[in-house]
Amino acid sequence: MHKFLNPARKKRLYIVLFIIAGVSIALAIMMTALRQHINFFYSPSQVAAGEVSAGQRFRIGGLVVDESVMRVEDSLQVRFALTDGAQEVWVTYAGILPDLFREGQGIVAQGALDEAGVFQADEVLAKHDENYMPPEVAQALAEAGHPTQLSTPDAT
């Protein structure tokens, strides 16, 4: 094998090494970017069990507890509790809530826990539908090539 390492082959080898290096660098960049920008999803039970530490960004999903939604006078600050049936977590959010946000509705919020264990959301997404089949919105939107079942009041 080795004696065949003529200049042409050497060049070839370099090219291959170059490609491998390029691919690994690209992959490494992608993976780092991914690691930095993913958000884990936790349920209120998991949060209550202390699986998440304060300050860590994640998504939480659950149903808005009935009669828990409170507005702060003269501002857009809102506070409500999320439950998965077992545990509740308090969420605060400043801004416009999605149209489908109501008590009893399933929502997903993105943000982090503060020191007091209250979830500070910077984004609240509401499920468009509580009807499983036909899963109209999710699917209809999806089929049309669109953001599926989540509507967001937050612009990118």
Partner 1 sequence: MMNSANSNNHHQKHRLAWLRWAAPLAVFLLLLLLFWRGLSLDSSTLPSPLVGQPMPAFSLEMLHDASVLKTEQDFKGQVALINVWATWCFACHHEHPMLMDLAYLNRVPIYGLNYRDDREAALSWLEALGDPYQFTVFDPDATVSIDWGVYGAPETFVIDQKGIIHYRHVGVITINDWETVFLPLIEQLEQAA
Partner 2 sequence: MLPELGHFALILALLLAVVQAVFPLLGSFYQKPAWVALGQPAACAQAFFLVCSLLCLTAAFILNDFSVAYVAENSNSRLPLHFRISAVWGAHEGSMLLWMTMLSLWGMSAALASRHLPENISARLISVLGWVSVGFLLFILLTSNPFERLLPYVPLDGADLNPLLQDIGLIIHPPLLYLGYVGLVVPFAFAMAVLMSGNLASAWARWLRPWAVTAWVFLTLGILLGSWWAYRELGWGGWWFWDPVENASLLPWLVATALIHSLAVTDKRGMFKAWTIFLAIFAFSLSLLGTFLVRSGVLTSVHAFANDPARGVFILILLGISVGSAMLLYAWRAQSLREEVKLHLWSRETMLLANNVLLVVMTLSILLGTLYPLILDAFNLGLISVGPPYFNAMFVPLAAPLLFLMALGPHQRWSKTQPSEWLGRLRYTFAISVTLGVVLPFVVTGSLQGHVVLGLALACWVLIATLQDLLGKGMRRGKGFTGVWQLPRSQQGMVIAHVGVAVCAIGIALSSQYSQERDVRMVPGDAYTLGAYTFLFEEVVSGEGPNYTTTTGLFEVSKTKRGGEQVIGTLAPQKRLFYVRNQIMTRAAILANGWRDLYIALGEPLDERAHAWAVRIVYKPFVRWIWLGGLLIALGGFVALFDRRYRQKVAQAFQGAIDLGRLKPANAE
Which range touches partner 1 (CB under 8 A), out of 4-12, 26-34, 70-78, 90-98? 4-12
Q: Residue 84 and residue 155: Cα distance in Å, rounded?
A: 28
Instruction: Give the contacts of 141 (CB within 8 A, at least 6 positions apart).
Output: 128, 147, 148, 149
The residues in 108-127 that bind partner 2, with binding defined as CB under 8 A, are 108, 110, 125, 127
With CB under 5 to 8 Å by kind, the binding choice for 9 among partner 2, partner 1, none is partner 1
With CB under 5 to 8 Å by kind, the binding choice for 53 among partner 1, partner 2, none is none
Give me the 95-134 binding string for partner 1, x by CB under 8 A, dash otherwise: ---------x-x--------------------x-xxxxxx
Contact with partner 2 (CB under 8 A) among 95, 114, 117, 122: 95
Contact with partner 2 (CB under 8 A) among 13, 20, 94, 114: 94
Pair of tokens at residue 113: 């826990």
Q: Residue 135 and residue 156: Cα distance in Å, rounded?
A: 26
Q: Residue 89 and residue 83: Cα distance in Å, rounded?
A: 7
Q: Residue 101 and residue 125: Cα distance in Å, rounded?
A: 8
Peptide bond into 147 cis (omega under 30): no
Interaction site with partner 1 (CB under 8 A): 8-9, 11-12, 15-16, 43, 45, 63, 65-66, 83-87, 104, 106, 127, 129-134
